[in-house]
Structure 1
Amino acid sequence: MAKNQKLNVARRSFIKKSAAMGVAASVAPWIISRDALASSGELKIMNWAGYLPDEVKEQFEKDTGIQVKFTQFGSNQELINKMKATRGRGFDIVGPTSNMMPQWRDLELLKPWDMSRIPTDKILAPMLRTSMEHGGWNDEYHHLPYLWGTEALAWNTEKLSREYKDLSYGDLFSPEVKGFVMGRPHSMMLGVGLYLDSTGVLPSNRMLDAYKDEENMRRIWGEITKYCIERKEWVKQFWADADAQKNGFTQNDVMIAQTWDGPAMQLKSQGKPIQYMAPQEGALTWLDGLAMPVGVRNTDAVYAFIEYLYSAEVGGLLANTTGYNSCAAGGDQFVTDEAKKNFLEAYPEDALERLWWWPAEPSWYAGIRAQYRDKFVAA
Structure 2
Amino acid sequence: MTILGTVRRRRLSGLLALTALLLFAALASVAIGTRSLSPGVVYDAVYHGLTCQGGPFSCATESTAEDIVRGLRLPRTALALTTGLALGIAGALIQGYTRNPLADAGLLGLNAGAAFLAALSMYLFAFTTPAQYIWFAFAGALVAGLAVFGASSVGAGKASPLSLVLAGAAVTAFLQAMTNAVVLLDPAALDAYRFWVVGSVGGRDAAVLWQVLPFLAIGLLLAVIASPGLNLLSLGDDVARGLGVNIGRSRALGLAAIVLLSGAATAAVGPIAFIGLVVPHLARMITGPDFRWLVPYSGLIGGLLLLIADIVGRVIARPGELEVGVMLAALGAPFFIAFVRRRKLVSL
Specify which structure has the higher proportion of helix: 2
Specify which structure has the higher proportion of strand: 1
Q: Same fold (TM over 0.5)?
A: no
- TM-score, length-scaled by structure 1: 0.27
- TM-score, length-scaled by structure 2: 0.28
